[in-house]
Structure 1
Amino acid sequence: MTDVTAVIAAPPERVWAVLADGWTYAGWVVGASHVRAVDAGWPEIGARIHHSVGPWPLVVHDTTEVVDVEPGRLLELDARSWPLGAARVRMELSRTDEGGTAVLMSEQVVRGPARLLPGPLQAALLIPRNRESLSRLADIVTAGAGTP
């Protein structure tokens, strides 16, 4: 797994509210360009976000599915981006002493051709991407989107 952490200056409830709103997915996930639909019940296990990945006109339609969830604390996803493959993405939230949220984002390619890339090369690609994703998530959270 490749891990990236960030501290967001908002309580975990506000961060979770954004993660629990599937329509914000393309706003914070680097590479996701459009959300086409969100299954009823998101973010329950088995619920999916139907999204597009990549720049137009090279857009690929795919899905991201919840594989584990502890509301307010943990969201684990099977994020597909075929033909490249699929990754397991785990978002863990914990309250900081200052009342903010520490977010740990872990990602590992689990299927497809991208899985053949050596671990250090995967990390070199994923770490900057996921840092930017957490920065975008922080911007959405602190702007007030998805507040309960």
Structure 2
Amino acid sequence: MVEVSLRVPVPVDQVFTVLADGWSYASWVVGAAHIREVDATWPAPGARIHHSVGPWPLQVKDVTTVATSRPPHELELEARMWPLGAATIRFELTEENGETKIRMHEKVTRGPLSLLPEQAQAVMLVPRNRESLHRLADLAVGRK
């Protein structure tokens, strides 16, 4: 899995609050363009965000599903982006001295992009995921 991490100067609960707000995903997930619906049980296992991915007019409608949720420390998702494939994305939050360390792991698991070696996936995913974590951090800090 490709991993990126970032320290945020807020408690773990404050970061997880953003992850638990499915309607905020288009604000911080790079590539997410529009949230159409969020299941009322989000972020419980099996809950889904119905979203669009990509630039208009080439947007693809798909879903992201919660695989595992252990508030406020872990959230694992399966993000679909057909026809390109699907990815497993895991967020791990740990608190250290009043700050939160966010670790984001991602691996393309299905579709044509899954055939790429991890190093090639990293070239695509690391810059995108770093930017996503910075956006997530901005939202978490702004929720004080």
Q: CA deviation at 1:117?
A: 1.4
Q: Deviations over 1:40-88 (max 9, x none)?
A: 1100000000000001101100000000110100000000011100000
Identity %: 56
Q: Does 1:24 align with 2:27?
A: no
Indicate the residue corresponding to 1:90 in structure 2: 90
- 1:5 alignment partner, SS class: strand
Please tell me the residue identity of whatever aligns with 1:111: R
- 1:61 alignment partner, SS class: strand
Q: Does 1:113 align with 2:89?
A: no
| Structure 2 CA distance for aligned equivalents of residues 118 and 15 of structure 1 | 31
Indicate the residue corresponding to 2:137 in structure 1: 138
Please tell me the residue identity of whatever aligns with 1:26: A
Please tell me the residue identity of whatever aligns with 1:8: V
Find runs of 4+ consecutive structure 1 residues off by over 6 angstroms: none
Q: Deviations over 1:109-129 (max 9, x none)?
A: 000111011221101110011
Q: CA deviation at 1:142?
A: 1.1
- 1:103 alignment partner, SS class: strand
Indicate the residue corresponding to 1:72 in structure 2: 72
Q: Does 1:36 align with 2:52?
A: no
| Structure 1 CA distance for aligned equivalents of residues 50 and 9 of structure 2 | 29
Please tell me the residue identity of whatever aligns with 1:19: L
Q: CA deviation at 1:139?
A: 0.8
Q: TM-score, normalised by structure 1?
A: 0.95
**Count of aligned positions:** 144
| Structure 1 CA distance for aligned equivalents of residues 8 and 50 of structure 2 | 27
Please tell me the residue identity of whatever aligns with 1:62: D
Please tell me the residue identity of whatever aligns with 1:139: D
| Structure 1 CA distance for aligned equivalents of residues 39 and 142 of structure 2 | 25
Q: CA deviation at 1:18?
A: 0.5
Unmatched segments (≥5 aa) in structure 2: none
| Structure 2 CA distance for aligned equivalents of residues 54 and 44 of structure 1 | 26
| Structure 2 CA distance for aligned equivalents of residues 39 and 71 of structure 1 | 17
Indicate the residue corresponding to 2:100 in structure 1: 101
Indicate the residue corresponding to 2:13 in structure 1: 13
Q: CA deviation at 1:9?
A: 1.1
- 1:45 alignment partner, SS class: coil
Indicate the residue corresponding to 1:45 in structure 2: 45
Q: CA deviation at 1:100?
A: 1.0
